[in-house]
Amino acid sequence: MALARHTRIFVLAAALAAGSVSAAFAQRPAGHLVVIGGGTRPAAVNTLIARLAGGAKGRLLIFPQASAVAETGPELATEFRALGVGTVTVITADRAAADTDAVLRQTDGATGVYFAGGDQNRLMAVLRGTKLEARLQALYQQGAVMAGTSAGAAVMSRVMITGDEQRPLTKDQDWQTIEAENVVTAPGLGLLDDVVVDQHFVRRRRHNRLISLVLEQPALLGVAIDEETATWVKPDRTFEVVGNGPVLVFDAKGATTARDTAGPGLRGSDLRLHVLRAGAVYDLGTRTVRRNAPTP
């Protein structure tokens, strides 16, 4: 049986929300994405964000809401100022404030946005459906760089992995199966419409959850980013791998997929897998590798 239905009811909400996202991105966005898999950010990733944000002439917004640590925002602001970004502003808005003119004014002239790590559900609980979310989408459309690590990477896609599992085997044994209707998702920012991002991927052995998701939703391209690694998504819809670890790409669009008739088990044939490292270039439009070798 072909797998046409979505993983969870949350994904239906994401599909409905996608109409407004698609309208916002009627033209190809002019901005860049720097999607980081968590862990320590390498110098090459940090300097890339600072450069794309405009350096001394740039204006970077920090969103720390995913983190439960109060010092996260100020520490990130200090770090990016030291990297040469001219103006760095920490946006501490809660959900109520995310629809206010006062907060929207804080985003005027922004050339970059950085989403801290933590819990992606905390961040999207503030942003989802607000004027601030729409403003961030518009900034990306107009040319701002959008960067984020861990939770801040997960929110980049339209279908966002929440980190929750519907049927964990035990408290300490998560993602032990490849099954349908197990990976919980929710609407993300939609900056990547047909891609689902996973992070900390190799270090935390998250293969089963992403394989489950792309087998169930073959239209989604699974981009799995390891720690200390980023994908730099450019306006031409190619991404380059930056950093120290691998990026895995799971493509089930041309695969034969099915679900067990007597249970949630998933099956698939001809699933494509790419293992990419620093300097590799992947084309999201054609779903092909342009280069998988270090930059000359």
Hey, which residues are catalytic here? 150, 200, 227
Report how far Cα 266 is from the mean position of its chain's Cα atoms: 25
Instruction: Answer whether 168's CB lies under 8 Å from 174's CB.
Output: yes
Which tokens is 295 given?
């930059």
Give Cα separations from 18 to 13, 26, 124, 289 (angstroms): 9, 12, 15, 27
The DSSP string of 152-181 is: HHHTTBSEEEEEEESS-SBTTB-S---BTT
Burial of 96 (0-12, 13-18, 19+ CB in 10 A): exposed
Report the SS3 class of residue 212: helix
Question: Nearest to residue 227, comparing CAs of 110, 149, 123?
Answer: 149
CB 184 within 8 A of CB 10: yes
Q: What's the maximum distance between 2 C-alpha atoms anywhere in the chain?
A: 60
What is the spatial distance between Cα 199 and Cα 88, in angstroms, rounded to a whole number?
26
Radius of gyration of the chain (CA): 18
Residues 6+ apart with CB under 8 A from 221: 194, 195, 196, 214, 249, 250, 251, 253, 284, 287
Angle at 283 between CA 141 and CA 295, to 5 degrees: 105
